[in-house]
Structure 1
């Protein structure tokens, strides 16, 4: 069988510096560059910087930086599968072996955009990183060294767009860069240049990228007709919200018809994703696992849970978010279609990890907002909290050590005391939830006696949104 680098492709000059060569960036950002190139809007590629010493450079070099993106999922209810060879990685630099080549990127003024995805732990300040290190260990330290070389050359700055999955990622990255500038005693003029000549954009990314299809790779290669060790599977849906100005002038993503939003405030869009995508995941995980379901697809194809999800979106989540209802409703329908994706076997067990912190971030703000606005409990979110507490009290679970200790303490108490103790734990929720004690106690009793489906039926058939 031929290898992928024997396939005919068009290559493009480098215009972007990209930190990170993993599945997500190749299935998300490099794929978007390809869509702009196909329409003649960008005509550029990325020089990829491998952020850790052991990475994919050898494989990418072996394949002439080519790989296949396979989009699989449902679009308007119909299954879709497309394949495309991506040629938007120009070259790969390993700064651990090519430090001077990395710094030399500062010389090329055509490189005026920097993107990154170095995992959630990538944007960090490590005071042990020194200016003379070749390279320093952290991504922000490497970036600071590159920016300082650009400044020394009196070149224009960059538009910098991190894709790491942390809130206000652009601001946090800039804070880390400034911390290194101070640690290394770099000139005040450099710090001023960081502010005046560079734009650190916060961004929000959304696309499920399962990555290399290890179990079915041979089937895909038979379909493609060539060997590809770096193929990436992803869902068709994608969203990129970028908080910044004049981004489209450098990256004409919207002109290419991509689902990209450039805004001066991404907060509502972050709430949309956290509460409408991540929130329902958290709402269904404990109920679904208690019902013996294994995947998100199992949940949305189950009539009881499908009804629960529909009403959760319509009655409790969408009314609490500060965006146009039509936009939120359309997004919710997209999410439900994504949940049904037969190609992505999203295990409830993986979502169940660290359920307490996930509930606190994704659903508790909506519960509190709903309770304050309507003076009653949102019954489906309350049911999901009851299921979480019941699962943690009765089943093995994986969570932070401090969470585990609190539930172990609760298990030593009489059952009549457990719920009030847990809801009153500021360490779990950063607030006092004991105003829910009576409701949650009743729901936990129903779960214990008759199971999760009985609770779902009860919530749908009764006015359980008791006034506060």
Structure 2
């Protein structure tokens, strides 16, 4: 969270970080200008082509605009590794817009002839879709608004209206590039975009289908939320006040499907993988990294661990996650060409253990209703033998969204379905009733999946209630 609260006075009284060089010409618009893109895609794009300017868009909060605008879009990126830290300035962002305050400015930006790519990091919930079917959720209030109004609210609405303006102006379509943790994210983005466009104007949907491109991608870098102490730390090193630095680990990976309808930076020149099919990379990362991240987040939070590095420092959690990779996830994965999945798991454990990266279990636990299908349930659906660790993870998520931890303290559950899930759990009496009621939420669990999980998850949930997360894991971890 970016805030001056808690900052020492000497930090905010330092000279402000400002742009030292002219801003590059705009070639890209990015929807969802959070910490991840600024610590990943923006850095890599600057390396690939420093003249490829990006307009950043915050869809809801003005916080990022207010922090970056006085700095001309520039900010610092602090890399924290086991051997030390590296600080660098990122200047590829040319302007920051707040969509809620000025939706017209966002549409004007997307309609610029120079714009070749509109990229997105809006999290799973930003796609306004049903995670279990990948279909556009027509009951979503933002989608209902965007069907009827030319000034959109959702990221999907902005894409559709941006394409509409380009079609009407006789301009070529831009490439829409999802950088979110969704399997086949390009196909998901194309599906919901065309579905909304068809409801607005069938001719527009046909134009998008014929002219636009939606490459799938896989992105990977651990980027914890920026805290006031991080801002103070950067200021002390920089000698200037940067209101919006990002913190990240050394590791990074970006795999992009070779499917663009216009120009792009020379991604391959800086190590970005341009491939025909991203699917194997997506599945590997979503299940091995994101899946175990979620498992460690829910179980770790319940057991009282604040960060991922503290969680895997616990020997029971270390054995648990290593067994989860070896016995439950790797057996159902096809490795990308030239990749050793056991070696990838070892590298992930080393990344998780980095004490310099304070990645909070609470942060990773957000939006679980949107993440569970692709991170956990997809592996369970393909498994041919029991998966006690993944089953316990589902039970831990149910316990977590109940809103009360093992010590009886409230949990600040951040999830688009939080109120509904809590109401369901509060209305049920027994563990069997609670689990059964949650498994009937069809936006998350298919009927087939619910039937397969009812018995195992009920037993795991009862174990969590009776013994707590750490003891329940110890029984499985051995």
Counterpart position of 2:160: 144
TM, length-normalised to structure 1:
0.76
1:48 aligns with one of 36, 50, 56: 56
Contact 1:57 1:94 in 2 (8 A): yes
The reply to whether residue 241 of structure 1 matches residue 235 of structure 2 is no
Structure-2 separation of matches of 1:131 and 1:403:
30
Contact 1:387 1:447 in 2 (8 A): no
**Structure 1 residues 57 and 308, CA, compared in 2 at 3 Å: closer, same or farther?**
closer
Contact 1:27 1:234 in 2 (8 A): yes
Counterpart position of 1:301: 313
Contact 2:160 2:193 in 1 (8 A): yes
SS at match of 1:35: helix
2:116 aligns with one of 90, 112, 116: 112
Give the stretch that moved more between structures: 283-292 or 390-399: 390-399
Contact 1:93 1:102 in 2 (8 A): no
Counterpart position of 1:200: 214
Structure-2 separation of matches of 1:15 and 1:385:
42
Q: CA RMSD in A?
A: 4.0
**Structure 1 residues 264 and 458, CA, compared in 2 at 3 Å: closer, same or farther?**
same
Contact 2:194 2:209 in 1 (8 A): no
Structure-2 separation of matches of 1:356 and 1:202:
22
Structure-2 separation of matches of 1:327 and 1:443:
34
Structure-1 separation of matches of 2:145 and 2:471:
56
Contact 2:435 2:458 in 1 (8 A): no
Structure-2 separation of matches of 1:390 and 1:239:
33
**Structure 1 residues 102 and 308, CA, compared in 2 at 3 Å: closer, same or farther?**
closer
Contact 1:69 1:85 in 2 (8 A): yes
- For residues 100-119 of structure 1, the C-alpha deviation after alignment (integer angstroms, 9 at most, x for no partner) is 785376353x3222212344
TM, length-normalised to structure 2:
0.75
Counterpart position of 1:314: 326
SS at match of 2:269: coil
SS at match of 2:359: coil
Contact 1:165 1:204 in 2 (8 A): yes
1:432 aligns with one of 451, 466, 470: 451
Structure-1 separation of matches of 2:120 and 2:71:
22
**Matching of residues 17-416 of structure 1 within 5 Å:** 17-37=29-49, 43-52=51-60, 54=62, 56-73=64-81, 78-93=82-97, 97=102, 99=104, 102-103=107-108, 106-108=111-113, 110-124=114-128, 126-129=143-146, 133=150, 135-179=151-195, 181-185=197-201, 188=203, 190-246=204-260, 250-257=264-271, 260-285=272-297, 287-289=299-301, 291-324=303-336, 326-352=339-365, 361-370=374-383, 372=384, 376-382=385-391, 384=393, 395=406, 398=413, 400-401=418-419, 403-404=421-422, 407-408=425-426, 412-413=429-430
Structure-2 separation of matches of 1:176 and 1:423:
30
Contact 2:320 2:473 in 1 (8 A): yes
**Structure 1 residues 184 and 66, CA, compared in 2 at 3 Å: closer, same or farther?**
same
Contact 1:425 1:432 in 2 (8 A): no
**Structure 1 residues 427 and 261, CA, compared in 2 at 3 Å: closer, same or farther?**
farther
- For residues 112-153 of structure 1, the C-alpha deviation after alignment (integer angstroms, 9 at most, x for no partner) is 2221234444444634347874x3333333333332332233
Q: CA deviation at 1:327?
A: 3.3
SS at match of 1:115: strand
Structure-2 separation of matches of 1:55 and 1:446:
39
